Amino acid sequence: MTTLTRIPCVLMRGGTSKGPFFLASDLPADAETRDKVLLSVMGSPHVLQVDGIGGAYPQSSKVAIISKSSDPRADIDYLFAQVSVDRAFVDTKPNCGNMLAGVGPYAIEQGLFRAAVGETTLRVLNINTDVIVEQTVQTPGGVVAYEGDVAIPGVPGTAAPIKLGFMDADGSVTGALLPTGKAVEEIDGVAVTLIDYAMPMMLLAAADVGLEGGEAPEAIDANTALFARVEALRLEAGRRMGLGDVSGLVVPKVGLLSRSPAGGTIRSRYLVPTSCHKSHATTGACCVAAALAMPGSIAAEMVGGVLRDSTVVLLEHPEGLMEIAIDLVAGGGNEPPRLKRAATVRTARRLFEGNVLCPASVWAGKSA
Give the model's pLDDT for residue 333.
67
What's the rounded Cα separation, in Å, for the pair 303 and 263?
12
What's the rounded Cα separation, in Å, for the pair 203 and 289?
11
Which helix (H) or strand (E) segment holds residue 257: the answer is strand 253-258
Rg of the chain on CA atoms, in Å: 20
Residue 108 has pLDDT above 70, yes or no: yes
Is residue 150 within 8 A of residue 158, CB to CB? The reply is: yes
| Partners of residue 11 on adjacent β-strands | 20, 352
Average pLDDT over residues 323-347: 85
For 249-269, write each residue's pLDDT tens digit: 999 999 999 999 999 999 999
Residue 56 has pLDDT above 80, yes or no: yes
CATH of 4-161+348-359 among 1.20.1260.10, 3.10.310.10, 3.30.2350.10, 3.30.230.10: 3.10.310.10
Query: Domain 185-345 belongs to what topology?
Result: Diaminopimelate Epimerase; Chain A, domain 1 (3.10.310)
Is the dihedral angle over the CA atoms 243, 63, 344, 142 positive or is it negative? negative
Residue 331 has pLDDT above 80, yes or no: no
Is residue 358 within 8 A of residue 35, CB to CB? The reply is: no
Is residue 122 within 8 A of residue 104, CB to CB? The reply is: yes
Average pLDDT over residues 133-157: 97
Is residue 95 within 8 A of residue 283, CB to CB? The reply is: yes
Supply the mean pLDDT for the chain: 95
What residues contact residue 48 under an 8 Å CB cut-off, 6+ apart? 56
Q: What percent of the chain has pLDDT over 90?
A: 91
For 85-100, write each residue's pLDDT tens digit: 999 999 999 899 999 9
DSSP H helices in 94-180:
97-100, 103-109
Same fold, 4-161+348-359 and 185-345: yes
What residues contact residue 123 under an 8 Å CB cut-off, 6+ apart? 73, 74, 75, 76, 132, 133, 134, 135
Amino acid (1-letter code) at residue 149: D
**C-alpha pair distances (Å), 47 with each of 5, 275, 282, 368:** 24, 14, 25, 32
Residue 126 has pLDDT above 90, yes or no: yes
What's the rounded Cα separation, in Å, for the pair 277 and 58?
9
Average pLDDT over residues 230-252: 96
Residue 12 has pLDDT above 80, yes or no: yes
Q: pLDDT band for position 335 (50/70/90)?
A: confident
Parse the chain into domains and list their residue ranges.
4-161+348-359, 185-345
Give the model's pLDDT for residue 307.
83
Spacing of C-alpha 59 from chain mean position: 10
Average pLDDT over residues 44-57: 97
Residue 368 has pLDDT above 70, yes or no: no
Average pLDDT over residues 304-315: 89
Is residue 159 within 8 A of residue 147, CB to CB? The reply is: yes
**C-alpha pair distances (Å), 14 with each of 30, 149, 176, 186:** 26, 16, 28, 36
What's the rounded Cα separation, in Å, for the pair 234 and 321?
26
Q: How many CB atoms lie within 10 A of CB 344?
A: 26
